[in-house]
Structure 1
Amino acid sequence: MLDATLIWDGPVLFEKLFVEHGLSYQRVPASAIGAPFMPLPKSKVMIIPTGFANPQYTGILGGIKTNKSFFDRFVRGGGVLVVHGALVPEYTYSWLPFTLKYREEYGPVDITVVNDHGCRCIIDCERVECDGYFTEADCDVVLNGNGKPVLVAKEHGSGVIVATTIHEFPTGAFLKWAVAHG
């Protein structure tokens, strides 16, 4: 079983993190998810990078929405789904099994811990760049940036969904946490 699957339609810098931390991974376009003729190798973690809803960066959003039930089964079965900011002015994550709404607002923020969830190791400093914040979140807020939710988590079945607007690479500790919990 692979450690991680990166949902994207072309090479991204994110991939170097897996190599640096000795994690196995694959990159697949969202259109390949749930394809009966070519099932994906199993992985513990699925990551949807920043900008997934912005057509200037990628065309994966349609495949993500189409495969809503695939993501639901993946998390219910014990997987960890990590979703980043949409990079559009406002966005509702309607394909997730809980209410989550995003507003784009790029800039540095001061981080405060709201809940001591294991995913908070996504960063290792108190000031980071964010591409926005969550305006509505029916889940646990883990970190705030300037008083607004920037990292949230939702237990779902045997797995967890982690959503973040932190616009920096996650730490190796976070990637290893996600793999250990997937």
Structure 2
Amino acid sequence: MAHQVAVIWEGPVLFTRLFEECGHTCELVTPHLLAAPFFKRRFHGVVIPAGFAAPGHTSILAALRAISPRIKRFVSEGGTVLAFGAGTDMSHAYDWLPVPITYRYGFAKMQLAINEGHTSASILEDGADEVSIDGILDNITGISDGQVILEAPSGPVMVQITYGSGRIIIASLHEYPSHRFVREFCAGGGEGLL
């Protein structure tokens, strides 16, 4: 079954091809479209690519902050948000989410501890030895329904948080997710109105 996925970005990105190859129907949602009062769509998943907070790169962050109540409703209703690394030195880059996550920016390539029992651990390709990350996620311990999926020696790099009927997945990986993960990331979940 194809799932309806929104990719939030300013223009077409190759990243959408990966989701389409894995059986999802993708819709590019630009910041201008998000700001339009008539824009309301039901999606199973919302994807925010890496680098969304980099000011010289994109203006996505301002749009995400402006629609934070809609994102909260979307997840509460059963949708899945998949956000990648912010890509800039901004600790509050995830303040548009309904959970308190802070971010420590920094590129590195390293081995990660993997929560093997969690289905979202499939984000890494089998046999991946070292992976690139662009930051560490903090404050996860204060979230009752949060789980660390991948962890660097200095802290979490991927977390999954249950919120209402949906979930939030944040991964500061600076690599493409595996096909298996993409196929399954919003399977079995609900949908929400964005």
TM-score computed with the length of structure 2 as normaliser: 0.85
Question: Structure 1 residue 131 and structure 2 residue 131: aligned?
Answer: no
Do the aligned residues in 1 keep the contact of 2:109 with 2:130 (CA within 8 Å)? yes
Q: Which amino acid aligns with 1:116?
A: G
Which of 174, 178, 186 is the equivalent residue of 1:171? 178
Contact 1:80 1:181 in 2 (8 A): no
CA contact (8 A) 1:34 1:70 kept: no
* 1:16 match: 17
* 1:65 and 2:65 aligned: yes
1:81 deviates by 0.2
> Which one-letter code corresponds to 2:82 in the other structure?
V
Structure 1 residues 181 and 34, CA gap change in structure 2 (3 angstroms): farther
Gaps of at least 5 residues in structure 1 are: none
SS of structure 2 residue aligned to 1:175: helix
| Aligned residue number for residue 28 of structure 1 | 29
Question: AA paired with 2:157?
Answer: V
Deviates more, 1:123-132 or 1:75-84: 123-132
Ranges in structure 2 where 5+ consecutive residues have no aligned partner: 190-194
RMSD: 1.8
Q: Could you tell which deviates more after superposition, 20-29 or 158-167?
A: 20-29
Deviation readout 1:14-48 (Å, 9 max, x if unpaired): 112023223211111133226332333x2211001
User: Which residue is equivalent to 1:111?
Assistant: 112
Quick one: structure 1 residues 105 and 38, their matched pair in 2 at CA, closer, same or farther if it must change by over 3 Å?
Answer: closer
Q: Is the 8 A contact 2:65 2:96 kept in 1?
A: yes
The CA deviation string for residues 59-91 of structure 1, in whole angstroms up to 9 with x for no partner, is 111110010011111111111101111111132
Segments of 4+ moved more than 6 angstroms:
none
Aligned partner of residue 44 in structure 2, secondary structure: strand
Task: Name the residue aligned to 1:44.
Answer: 44
Report how many residues are paired.
Answer: 181
TM-score, structure 1 as length reference? 0.91
Identity of aligned residues (%): 31
Shift of 1:119: 1.4
Picking from 145, 152, 156, the partner of 1:145 is: 152
| One-letter identity of the residue aligned with 1:98 | V
Larger RCO, structures 1/2 (Cα 8 Å, 6+ apart): 2
**1:26 and 1:150 mapped to 2: Cα distance?**
27
Report which of the two has the higher share of strand: 1
Secondary structure of the residue aligned to 2:175 is coil
- Structure 1 counterpart SS, 2:185: helix
The one-letter code matched in structure 2 to 1:30 is P
Once the two structures are superposed, what CA deviation does each residue of 1:152-172 show, in whole Å capped at 9, x if it has no partner?
Answer: 011001110000101101111
Aligned match of 2:192? none
Aligned partner of 1:82 in structure 2 is 82
